[in-house]
A and B are shown apart, each in its own frame.
Chain A
Amino acid sequence: MTESPYTPHSREDVEQMLGEVGVASVEELFDVPQELRYEGGFDVEAKSEKETVEHVSKLLEENDDVVEFVGGGHYSHYVPSVVDHLADRSEFLTSYTQYQPEVSQGFLQALFEYQSLLVELTGLEVANASVYDAASALGEAALMAARVESGSRVLVPDDLYRGRRSVLENYVEGAGLNVEGYPTERGNADVDALEELVDDDVVFVYLESPNRCGAVEERASEVGGLSDDVDAVFCVGSDPVALALLEPPAAVGADVVVDDASVLGVSAAYGMGCGFYVTREEYVRQVPGHLVGAAPDADGRRAYTLTLQTREQHIRRERATSNICTNQAWMALRAAIHASLLGPEGLVDLAERCVELPHDVASRFDEVDGVTAPAFDRYYFREFVAEVDGDAEKVAGDLLERGYVVGVDSGSRLRVCVTEVNEDEVDGLVDALEEVMG
């Protein structure tokens, strides 16, 4: 009777159910006026699972099998098999938001631990249970700034990744804020230029470390100080692996820390992320999205629950802190599992590797004729910028033909991202670069 492999009804079941409901056919249950009925098809034939797997696999095999050395705001590390094994447990994967906490303790505790992890890494007090990605986390942070401070100017580095800036601009437009770039100098904030720019109308100052070229910011606390002088919200972008090594953002005056937690727990997924959002306790009622808290149950045992829900859209409607409902909880779970596996030693070792590798590979690039690497003198994390003689697009295209993907930063600059995932392929990349430049 039924044509779906995922419905259990037998023909007899359907007859019996129709009888109970008191109609002759399923068709009668649809209260749709005749003129609105759709008579056409969907132009897609049903397939067996095997056929579907073959079809989709074949489609994806059209992707060129190349080695990626590209970052630019989306990074991944080696994800241990056990992360899939655990996160794919159906009770985690198929559940939804924990509206009934009594039967959702497992996921709630995992999210509480994810929040705790971010609190430890950032030094701030309140982490939410995820937003979509780094870009939306940044947008939410600017909107929060507009709620807690007055002003209309939002300052971001002028080399901010374009996609992130575009999302930010969309987020803040409705609140009447304007996004402006402040000058950067060799991948760090130009503090003197920024000092000239800030005034009392600035409500939000954003700084990334490492930034989209991998450069570690060296004067973060000075930027924080400038932000503080004009009572703006100071927001730092940094990811959980980098934070294992870098000074906690709270120590440089950050009011909010955002970025993408999916550097842990997820392979490259065409840019799919897990935005994290951590802020000071004083802003707890201004946080967007779900928050998990601990509280006793009727037997006095510690339990977990979504809390402070009056901030959210299902209660506060148009005055909610955000429209977000569905978030990236499962990605947060994956990041938490991966972080737990690494532990503090593993996280620090991985972060150390992210400092050494770009340094070493940049030196090898620098030995290639026509290449200067790194392009400017900074500390790098995962990624560095190389200056090439000629057009970077052309060099990147030639490298792609040889099976290597690198990023293009601008005219004559390449972005090269190297981690434990691709470090064994560095020899090949350097050889290819020599060919291309030769």
Chain B
Amino acid sequence: MTYDQARWTRDGVFEPLTVEKDSTEVEVESALPDDLTRDKLELPELSEPEVAGHYIRLSQMNYGVESGPYPLGSCTMKYNPPFTEDLAGLESAAVHPEREESVQGTLALMHGLQRHLEVIGGVDAVSLQPPAGAAGEYAGLLIARSYHESRGDERGEVVVPDTAHGTNFASAAMAGFSVVKVPSGDDGRVDLDALEAAVGEDTAAFMVTNPNTLGVFEREITEVAEVVHDAGGLMYYDGANLNALLGQARPGDMGFDVMHFNLHKTFATPHGGGGPGAGPVGVVEELAGYLPEPHVREDGDGGFELYRPEDSIGKVHGFHGNWLALVKAYAYIERLGEEGLCSASEMAVLNANYLAERIPFEVPYSPFHHEFVASAERDAAEVAKKMLDHGVHPPTTKWPEIVDEALMTEPTEVEGVDGLEVLAEAFHAAAEADDEDLAESPQRTTSRRIDQVKAAREPVLSWRDLDIEK
């Protein structure tokens, strides 16, 4: 497959107006007194056709899920059905967050989604408020802290495996915990002895995803939970990899006490160029009272209401979270139903296993599920750049570090045999390319390799920093 991405070298619209500071200056006059207002405002003044043309051209210089394979490991880049977008855009859904009694439909949808997630995760209560996975982790850890404190138990440590997501470390630190890292065993799983040595009376929680970031299922998760629980800690499930397990196993049944879901991964809400996502937090019965406020429940009269759980940690979002993502995830779950959701996981796992057979790189840890981590045995970042020229988005690179030059690959269920073949060809091309070829890649993309060193040494972060001659 050959590929050439659009390259508009002279956009012709924003550039001369903004970059060269030739923008329109508007004198500001106001009913407010002069000392409270600005004198002028300098921004580009454009017609609607000009604005439309500009952003269409920008969209043509961007790679999305429908542009081709997007096996970005750990991110679950699956197809986002457009009808969910229409539903999120319904006028009846566009309501103000201070409303409660008069938005029974909104609350019913939220309650329905809470119920779906409870069943899918095997947990007893879910709050939809955290606006992203990291926010879900953070909310979960605040819950853990409140839970321990309510028992007069000050616990200052969160334990994570060395393969954990960077957000786990950062969320723990933000919640005021220090982080204890446990080395993985030779099989890539949690090493029970190392875990036992790491946990103790200061352990607030152990955070892990399952299957883990290598795609490998923690078969001893029940034993892991026993070790953590015996030490008095809580088990935290990072939901990033839930797309591997729908209908096969549930975090709640594995001994987890707190978890988050990533609606933008597992439940197909679009990633939006970086967000919004949604990271609902789910808990077992004993922790339900700590959920963020407000929480939705049935009002006992056929309707729904908002209430403050009795020991609530307070709020992790100014209002109710990322509502548009909640609508889309709810619609996706209703559309697929049980059969479709389970099938999605099955095909995701089959795709990963099939693709791994077709590529020229070793996969040191297995059996893996919805994703695998191959070892490029040469600079994985360079391999990725070569893959770009073959019309695919490359895998996540150089992480987790326990695999040498990692290529973390998650094709998701949306690729068929043909799409996987395109991906396999890209892997082969990168494996076979000589060093010079790799260093010169990519050639066919909108921009060539970008000078990251210059970008970091001399940051240019807005129009004002651009050194452009008039």
Contacts and interface: CB of A to CB of B under 8 A. Distances in A.
B320 A270 contact: yes
B166 A341 contact: no
Interface size class on chain A is 35 or more
Nearest to A117: B43
Contacts of B54: 340
Interface in B133-155: 133-135, 137-138, 142
A6 B104 contact: no
A42 B337 CA distance: 8
A400 interface: yes
Contact of A129 (B132, B274, B454): B274
A431 interface: no
A317 B273 contact: no
B108 interface: yes
A270 B5 CA distance: 38
Interface in A311-363: 312-320, 322-331, 333, 337, 339-341, 343-345, 347-348, 351-352, 355-356, 359
Contacts of B44: 340, 343-344
B462 A125 contact: yes
B230 interface: no
Interface in A4-52: 4-9, 13-14, 16-18, 20-21, 23, 26, 29-33, 35-38, 40-47, 49, 52
A193 B448 CA distance: 57
A316 B170 CA distance: 8
Interface string B312-352: 01111111111111010011011111111111101101110
Contact of B327 (A43, A56, A133): A56
Interface stretch (A163-171, A368-376, A385-393): A163-171
A103 B315 contact: no
B31 A355 contact: yes
A299 to B, nearest CB: 5
A320 B36 contact: no
Contact of B464 (A125, A218, A271, A316): A125
B277 interface: yes
A370 B440 CA distance: 76
Given A68-B95, A295-B452, A290 B274 contact: yes
B350 A60 contact: no
A205 interface: no
Nearest to B455: A295
B26 A344 contact: yes
Among B83, B347, B449, the most chain A Cβ lie within 10 Å of the Cβ of: B347
A294 interface: yes
A344 B45 contact: yes
A21 B367 CA distance: 12
A55 B334 contact: yes
A355 B169 CA distance: 46
Contacts of A101: 447, 450
B343 A3 contact: yes
Interface in B36-88: 36-38, 41-46, 48, 51-52, 54-67, 70, 72, 75, 77-83, 85-87
A407 B170 CA distance: 37
Given A61-B92, A94-B64, A107-B62, A320 B166 contact: yes
B354 A20 contact: yes
**Size bin of chain B's contact surface:** 35 or more
Contact of B450 (A66, A96, A297, A320): A297
Nearest to A346: B45
B109 to A, nearest CB: 5
B131 A46 contact: no
Interface string A243-258: 0111110000000000
A245 B175 contact: no
B173 A318 contact: yes
A98 interface: yes
A247 B38 contact: yes
Interface in B90-113: 90-99, 101-106, 108-109, 112
Given A53-B87, A405-B99, A59 B108 contact: yes
A104 B442 CA distance: 13
A272 B276 contact: yes
Contacts of A36: 221-222, 249, 253-254
A193 to B, nearest CB: 21
Contacts of B268: 6
Nearest to A123: B38
B121 to A, nearest CB: 11
Contacts of B343: 2-4, 7
A45 B337 contact: yes
Contacts of A293: 455-456, 459-461
A59 B109 contact: yes
Given A95-B271, A324-B132, A66 B466 contact: no
Interface stretch (B190-198, B408-416, B430-438): B408-416
Nearest to A401: B102
A116 B41 contact: no
A155 interface: no
Contacts of B423: none
Given A117-B43, A331-B276, A355-B32, A95 B62 contact: yes
Given A4-B343, A63-B105, A166-B315, A9 B92 contact: no
Given A47-B334, A96-B77, A379-B31, 14 more contacts: A17-B353, A56-B331, A91-B62, A94-B79, A102-B385, A132-B276, A166-B293, A245-B30, A247-B35, A268-B97, A295-B455, A304-B447, A305-B452, A313-B170
21 contacts: A4-B413, A21-B354, A26-B346, A32-B217, A52-B334, A56-B327, A60-B87, A85-B52, A86-B59, A91-B66, A96-B271, A133-B318, A284-B459, A293-B461, A303-B447, A326-B133, A326-B271, A327-B274, A328-B272, A328-B322, A344-B41
